[in-house]
Each structure stands twice: as C-alpha cells, then as structure tokens.
Amino acid sequence: MAIITILGAGRMGTAVTWPLRDNGHEVRLVGTHLDGEIIRACQEQRFHPGLRRRIPDGVLPLYLEQLDDALAGADVVVSGVNSLGVHWIGRTLAPRLWPGAAVLSLSKGLEASADGVLRTLPEVLASELPAGLREAVTISAVAGPVLAYELSGRRISATVFCGADRDELLRLRGIFHNAYYQVWLSTDAVGVEVFSALKNAYTIGIGAARGMLEAAGGPDEINAAMHNTAALLFAAAARELSHIVRLMGGRPEGFAGLQGAGDLYVTCTGGRTFRLGWLMGTGLTYSQAQAVMQEDTLEGAFAVLQMAHILPVWEAEGRIGPDDLPMLRAIIRAITSDTPLALPWDDLMGVEQMFV
Amino acid sequence: MAIITILGAGRMGTAVTWPLRDNGHEVRLVGTHLDGEIIRACQEQRFHPGLRRRIPDGVLPLYLEQLDDALAGADVVVSGVNSLGVHWIGRTLAPRLWPGAAVLSLSKGLEASADGVLRTLPEVLASELPAGLREAVTISAVAGPVLAYELSGRRISATVFCGADRDELLRLRGIFHNAYYQVWLSTDAVGVEVFSALKNAYTIGIGAARGMLEAAGGPDEINAAMHNTAALLFAAAARELSHIVRLMGGRPEGFAGLQGAGDLYVTCTGGRTFRLGWLMGTGLTYSQAQAVMQEDTLEGAFAVLQMAHILPVWEAEGRIGPDDLPMLRAIIRAITSDTPLALPWDDLMGVEQMFV
C-alpha cells in the first residue's frame, strides 16, 4: 500500500480520498492556508463542509504547519489546489520535494504569461521548482470529467492521468484506479490539458442555443426547438478545440475521449458555465448574466480571458489567420467588451476547412 | 436556379424544400407509393400532415405516377426515403436516371448483407443501378444532426454533404446552403455514414446513466447525480465509434465534427433513442422499455441489429478481437437477447487502448 499526501483540502482534493482509502492506501490530507476551517471540521467532526460529507475512515487531516511531516515517505504528492493556487503549490513544494518524488496535479487550466506563452498548469507548477529538482521529479496531472460531489458519492466516474512518463502513469493508475474511479491514461499532457481548460470557454457558446430558443419565444407551434443549432455549435467547438490542440503540439484525436468529447458533453448538460452561455444566448451581456446568476462565473470566463491574451500573439506569429477560431473569438469579444454574444453563423466553418 | 426533384415526401424530404425554395430553386416533391395522403394534403391544402406545417410557396407536390415528368431536366435528384426504402429508390430510379445525373440521398443508416458485409446506404442505392449507369452518375449523401421539424421552422441548422466527388459536393452546397441550412462537406462518405448510423446504438448506452440514477433513487443527499458516469459512457462511445470508422476505412478524425460529436451530443440531449437507453438503464429489457414508451423504437435498435450480424464476421476475419467494442457488445446483447443492459464497466477501456 502507498502513502499519499494531498496538499489542498478543497472539494476535489478531498474527493480523491474515497478511492484512495477504498484501495487501502495511507492518506494524509493537508489543508492550505485557506483551508483551516475545513481541516478543523475534518479533525473534530470527520466532516468536510464543502463536500458536505463525512470523510472516509482513516483519512488523516492535517494543517499546513504539519506539511513537512506529512510529506515524509510519501509515494505520491497530490496537488489539490485550484488553478489559482498552482504557483503557490510550486513555491511551497520547491524546498520540500526530493529527487524521484512523484507529483500528481488536480488543477485544470491554462496560464497565459505576460509575453503571450500559453502553458499548462503542470508546466506552471514545474516552473516554480529549482532547475536541478525540476528534472528529477515527475509531474503528472489529472483531467477529465469528474465532479467531486459524485466521486465522493462513489458514482461511477472516469478520469485521465496524463504526463510524459508512461511507466509512472501506469504506477499511479495502480494506486488510484478502482471500479468507480476509472483511470484512463494519456502521454499527451498538452492535449489533455488544453481540451480540459478550454471546454468551459466553448460551453458558453454551446449554451447560447438554449438562450436563443428562449429569446425566440420557445419552441414554435409544432414544438421545434433548437437542437440543430446546439449540434452545430457543439461541432464547431469540437473543430476549434482540435485546432488549438494541434497548434499547441498536442494530439487532436484525443477529442474522441474523456478529455475531449466526454468532458465537453457533460459540461453542456448543465452546470454554471452552461447556464452562463444560456443567459448570454438570450441577449444578456456577461455582467448582466452574472447578476442574474448571483454567483461567480469566473471559472467559465477564466480560460476565455487567457485566450484573449494569446490569440493576438498567435496571429502576429502567423500561427493562425484572422478568420481562424471564429467561435472562440466571438465568445472572447462578448466577455472582454461586455457586449451581447454575436456568433458568426456564416463563418463558423470556412469552406476550405470543412472537408474532413 | 436549379431544378430539384425529391422522391419521398416524408418529413425530411419535405423539410429540405424550405432552404431550396428560399434559395429560389424549382422544387418538385414526388410522393412514394406510401405518400398518397401526404401529396393530396400538399396539393389541396398546401399542408404537410407529418410536419404539420404549410409547405413553402412554389413547391410542386406530385404523385408517384408523375415521376417521369418530375425527373425531366432535374439538376439534382434527392432520395427522400428512410433507410428501409433505399432498395426501392434504387430500383425505381434505375430505369429513369441518365448519365451525368446527380443523386443526393437523405437516408441514414447502414445495411448488413447476408454474407456479413456492411455497406452505407448510398452504396446500397448504387448497387440497385445497372452497372453501366452506376459509374455514370454521382451519388452524394446527407448526414448530420438535422431534425426536420426544426429545419422547416428555419432554425439554424447544419448538415454534412458527403461523397467521393469534391467538385460535385461544392456544386450541391451552392444549391442548398443558406444562413439557416449550413452545408459542411466531407469526402469521407464512409466515416460520415458510419458515425451517423451508429450514433443511435451508442445513445442507448449513454442514456443508461440517467436510468441508473433513477434506479439508485435519484441524486443523493448532497444532490450528486451521475454526470461522471454519463461522461464516461459518452467518451467510451466516442472511442468505439472512431474505432469502427477506422475499421471500415473512414477517417476517425471526423468525430470532431457535425457527423460525430455534434450528432451524438444532440441525440443524447433527448429524443426517443435516449429515452430508450434511459429506461433500459433502470433495468428494463428492450421489450419492457418499448411497452413503457408505447412507440416504435426500431430506429435506435436497427443499427444495433445490423452490428449484431457484423461483429462475428469481423471477429472471424481477425479484424477485431473478442474484447474490442465492449460497449456496443453489451448493447447488442441486451437487445438481441431482451435481457437487462449490463455495461462492462471494468472493461470499457483496455489499458493498451487507453493511451491517446
């Protein structure tokens, strides 16, 4: 049995303790400086207030101050923070990791640097490590469609572990995989991370079909909705996502998997980001939609803002033309200028690109 | 402007008259021997009883007996029958087509011959033409996610025209394409047809997640549903569909388009086939689910029955192994033996296949 140390006691960091404990591993769950209340509740009541569940027997909740002890002998160090905490995780682990350490990152997202380079979050994490150590550890990442509420309810779930090291991925799979947490693998870390990060941006566009139907007064007299329109948007998203993955050196064929179609599908069956797109499809601006939802929709918009930085750079470098990625451009325009979403229906697919 | 003769006045055959008339073409809508009542209603009341809409001004409804006149000078002959009528269409057109004629088939599906060969419906149609004529006409086909109710309501829709002849596809696009009937193109007729035909089979499996949730008593105490499970099934379907397209010589990358992901997504957002899968996910057999739905679900099951004939042949030929396509096999087993659907969760993705 292995020792797993998780840094970050949020919902997803904690949810993976279910398969880990069911698989019989030693699990140390360490809160960040923001997780003090969570750790207290976990220690005193064995209850996670975010997940609203009793945590599995045997999980050891620890405060950040106990991190050094928690890392002793760890076979896997899991980064359980969200995308905003990746730099912090890197800096926190930098003086504490050892050659041969195995890191598994649960954070999804992309980060655009000031100079217009788009990096996956495992790359960002690695960049915080000292040069000698960076090459001496393995950093793998988790992506794919897993809601923490469902995983911690032992609903059948599947995820993708990705990284450069095939043997390391198989080792990690041996630790985490079980009947309700099925671990698929990919050596295409770039593709997996890009699909995963950008699905939210495209879900805004796909959700718009529902809002357009609402704005049109709903189904017509014979109950015709806008399924055709939704299908067009889903397909256009699939094409653009594959294009971006190819541009970044990933493998577009991964779209036919958990990281691509599986994740995009389920993001489009509900949730906050889909609802944001739905509201924007009715004609609301981003800020108006946020006001209606009365909640933070930054997760969906975050990748959009990242791509808003990157597209001009790619265009200047000649990697894309001004007519490429029209759906993403429309979504970027709506959100950055806070104007109604205007999808370019006639140009969603150029004739020269439509031949598959 | 072109002259378009449509043979088959069902819902889809009639729905394409909207973009055709809006684009200014001459449209002759010829009923089959089963469409007498439809043609009468179209002639006398300008009303299509299946679509429950007034047909566009200028569409000329004709009886089958007027077919010869209707074909005179036609720039495009549209086959508007469903998959069961393709042989009939082929035999009916065989003595009437001319060298250089352009046929566009709206029928979706695959046909397994008695000797275990799987053919696309355009191939079936072609097989009914005399040898000399077969090479002298072009047969293109329409696939992709378009509901006739919505197209005839001028909802923004997109479809794929596929065929071997790129120039012919561009010519057809010039006739049919407009703002609400966007025509994408593909020279991968096999891939497009296979994705299109098999999406219904896989939708049964994906829909099962909803039924499993129902059988489990619905969302749990913190509202965890089974989105994770649905995502896994969608991804497994994507993988298997791509595998089958590759086996048949098509281009699996087409999954990231209308014919693949777009069509599968929208089929999984509702409709009869999804509901069939949902009911089977609760534990009902196929015949029990049909009894609940009180309607014919053959469309979804048809492709399943075709594949039930084909898989043993492919296996005997060594084209697939006994563990390949486990999701499809489970769906076939449930429907052909009328037993509850038993999805092979642990084997949906073999380790050797999971690396993308």
User: Which pLDDT score is estimated for B115?
Assistant: 80
**Mean per-residue pLDDT over chain B, rounded:** 93
d(Cα A167, Cα A163) in Å, to the nearest integer? 10
Residue contact A225–B150, C-beta within 8 A: yes
Which residue of chain A is at minimal alpha-carbon distance from B242? A256
The torsion angles phi and psi of A80, rounded to 5 degrees, stand at -105, 15
The CB-side HSE value for B69 (13 A sphere, CA atoms) comes to: 10
Give the sheet arrangement for strand B181-186, strand by strand: B60-62, B26-30, B3-7, B76-79, B102-105, B138-143, B157-162, B181-186
d(Cα A181, Cα A155) in Å, to the nearest integer? 8
The share of chain A scoring above pLDDT 90, in percent, equals 85
**Mean per-residue pLDDT over chain A, rounded:** 93
User: Which pLDDT score is estimated for B352?
Assistant: 55
Q: Is the pLDDT of residue B14 over 90?
A: yes
**Secondary element (H or E) of residue B27:** strand B26-30
d(Cα B27, Cα A31) in Å, to the nearest integer? 69
The alpha-carbon gap from A95 to the nearest alpha carbon of chain B, in Å, equals 33
Query: Could you tell me which residues come within 8 angstroms of residue B174 by beta carbon, excluding any fewer than 6 positions away?
Result: none
pLDDT grade for A297, boundaries at 50, 70 and 90 = low
Query: Could you tell me which residues come within 8 angstroms of residue B52 by beta carbon, excluding any fewer than 6 positions away?
Result: A221, A222
Residue in B187, B235, B241 closest to A262 by CB: B235
The torsion angles phi and psi of B76, rounded to 5 degrees, stand at -140, 135
CATH number of A190-354: 1.10.1040.10
| Helix, coil or strand: residue B28 | strand
Residue contact B235–A151, C-beta within 8 A: no
Residue contact A256–B257, C-beta within 8 A: no
A304 DSSP assignment: H
CATH pick for B197-354 out of 2.60.40.1180, 1.10.1040.10, 1.10.1740.10, 2.30.30.280: 1.10.1040.10
pTM: 0.95
C-beta of residue A339 within 8 angstroms of C-beta of residue B150: no
The mean per-residue pLDDT over the stretch A18-26 comes to 98
**What are the CA-CA distances from residue B31 to residues A199, A320, B76, B105 (Å)?**
45, 49, 16, 15
Q: Is the pLDDT of residue A353 over 80?
A: no
pLDDT one-digit tens code per residue, B45-102: 999 999 999 999 999 999 999 999 999 999 999 999 988 899 999 999 999 999 999 9
Report chain B residues whose CB lies below 8 A from the CB of A238: 255-257, 260-262
The alpha-carbon gap from A54 to the nearest alpha carbon of chain B, in Å, equals 11
Residue contact A222–B53, C-beta within 8 A: yes
Give strand pairing partners of A26.
Answer: A3
C-beta of residue B350 within 8 angstroms of C-beta of residue B323: yes
d(Cα B87, Cα B109) in Å, to the nearest integer? 13
pLDDT one-digit tens code per residue, B279-327: 999 999 999 999 999 876 666 788 898 899 999 999 999 999 998 999 9
B interface test, pick of A14, A232, A348, A349 with most B CB neighbours within 10 Å? A232
The alpha-carbon gap from B242 to the nearest alpha carbon of chain A, in Å, equals 7
The alpha-carbon gap from B115 to the nearest alpha carbon of chain A, in Å, equals 31
C-beta of residue A140 within 8 angstroms of C-beta of residue A105: yes
User: Which pLDDT score is estimated for A4?
Assistant: 98
C-beta of residue A184 within 8 angstroms of C-beta of residue A256: no
Dihedral sign computed on CA atoms, order A143, A147, A148, A151: negative
pLDDT grade for A126, boundaries at 50, 70 and 90 = very high
pLDDT grade for B124, boundaries at 50, 70 and 90 = very high
d(Cα A232, Cα A202) in Å, to the nearest integer? 12
Residue contact A266–B157, C-beta within 8 A: no
Residue in B155, B229, B257 closest to A155 by CB: B229
**What are the CA-CA distances from residue B265 to residues A74, A265, B274 (Å)?**
42, 6, 11
User: Which pLDDT score is estimated for A355?
Assistant: 66
d(Cα B144, Cα B332) in Å, to the nearest integer? 23
**What are the CA-CA distances from residue B57 to residues B25, B42, B47 (Å)?**
11, 11, 11
C-beta of residue B197 within 8 angstroms of C-beta of residue B225: no
pLDDT one-digit tens code per residue, B60-71: 999 999 999 999
C-beta of residue A230 within 8 angstroms of C-beta of residue B265: yes
Q: Is the pLDDT of residue B271 over 90?
A: no
User: Which pLDDT score is estimated for A348?
Assistant: 82
Q: Which residues of A are catalytic?
A: 199
pLDDT grade for A354, boundaries at 50, 70 and 90 = low
pLDDT grade for A270, boundaries at 50, 70 and 90 = confident
| Helix, coil or strand: residue A78 | strand
The alpha-carbon gap from B10 to the nearest alpha carbon of chain A, in Å, equals 16
User: Which pLDDT score is estimated for A183?
Assistant: 95
The mean per-residue pLDDT over the stretch A5-16 comes to 97
Number of residues in chain A: 356
User: Which pLDDT score is estimated for B116?
Assistant: 80
A110 DSSP assignment: E
d(Cα B226, Cα A298) in Å, to the nearest integer? 24
Find how far residue B132's CA is from the centre of its chain: 29
Q: Is the pLDDT of residue A11 over 60?
A: yes
Residue contact A223–B149, C-beta within 8 A: yes
d(Cα A347, Cα B182) in Å, to the nearest integer? 10
User: Which pLDDT score is estimated for A350?
Assistant: 64
**Secondary element (H or E) of residue B232:** helix B227-247
Q: Is the pLDDT of residue A247 over 60?
A: yes
Torsion of CA B144, B150, B153, B159, to 10 degrees: -10
Residue in B225, B256, B355 closest to A252 by CB: B256
d(Cα A188, Cα A185) in Å, to the nearest integer? 9
Q: Where are the domains of chain B?
A: 3-187, 197-354
Residue contact A260–B256, C-beta within 8 A: yes
Residue contact B156–A345, C-beta within 8 A: yes
B interface test, pick of A155, A171, A195, A220 with most B CB neighbours within 10 Å? A155
d(Cα A203, Cα B201) in Å, to the nearest integer? 25
Q: Which residues of B are catalytic?
A: 199
pLDDT one-digit tens code per residue, B213-226: 999 999 999 999 99
Residue contact A356–B157, C-beta within 8 A: no
Place of tokens 């009541």: A45
d(Cα B161, Cα B280) in Å, to the nearest integer? 34
User: Which pLDDT score is estimated for A303?
Assistant: 85
CATH number of B3-187: 3.40.50.720
The alpha-carbon gap from B300 to the nearest alpha carbon of chain A, in Å, equals 18
Query: Could you tell me which residues come within 8 angstroms of residue B124 by beta carbon, excluding any fewer than 6 positions away?
Result: B86, B87, B90, B111
Report chain B residues whose CB lies below 8 A from the CB of A265: 230-231, 234, 261, 264-265, 268
Report chain A residues whose CB lies below 8 A from the CB of B51: 222
Residue in B147, B228, B262 closest to A232 by CB: B262
pLDDT one-digit tens code per residue, A132-143: 999 999 999 999
Report chain B residues whose CB lies below 8 A from the CB of A260: 235, 238, 256
Q: What is the 3-state secondary structure (H, E, C) of B139-177?
A: EEEEECCCCHHHHCCCCCEEEEEECCCHHHHHHHHHHHC
Residue in A223, A231, A268 closest to B263 by CB: A231
Report chain B residues whose CB lies below 8 A from the CB of A241: 256
Q: Is the pLDDT of residue A352 over 60?
A: no
pLDDT grade for B133, boundaries at 50, 70 and 90 = very high
d(Cα A304, Cα A309) in Å, to the nearest integer? 9
B49 DSSP assignment: T
Query: Could you tell me which residues come within 8 angstroms of residue A294 by beta carbon, excluding any fewer than 6 positions away?
Result: none
pLDDT one-digit tens code per residue, B138-190: 999 999 899 999 999 999 999 999 999 999 999 999 999 999 999 999 999 99
pLDDT one-digit tens code per residue, A185-197: 999 999 999 999 9
Ranges assigned E (strand) in chain A: 3-7, 26-30, 47-48, 53-54, 60-62, 76-79, 102-105, 110-112, 118-120, 138-143, 157-162, 181-186
Number of residues in chain B: 356
The mean per-residue pLDDT over the stretch B183-205 comes to 93
Query: Could you tell me which residues come within 8 angstroms of residue B308 by beta carbon, excluding any fewer than 6 positions away?
Result: B332, B335, B336
C-beta of residue A158 within 8 angstroms of C-beta of residue A144: yes
pLDDT grade for B355, boundaries at 50, 70 and 90 = low
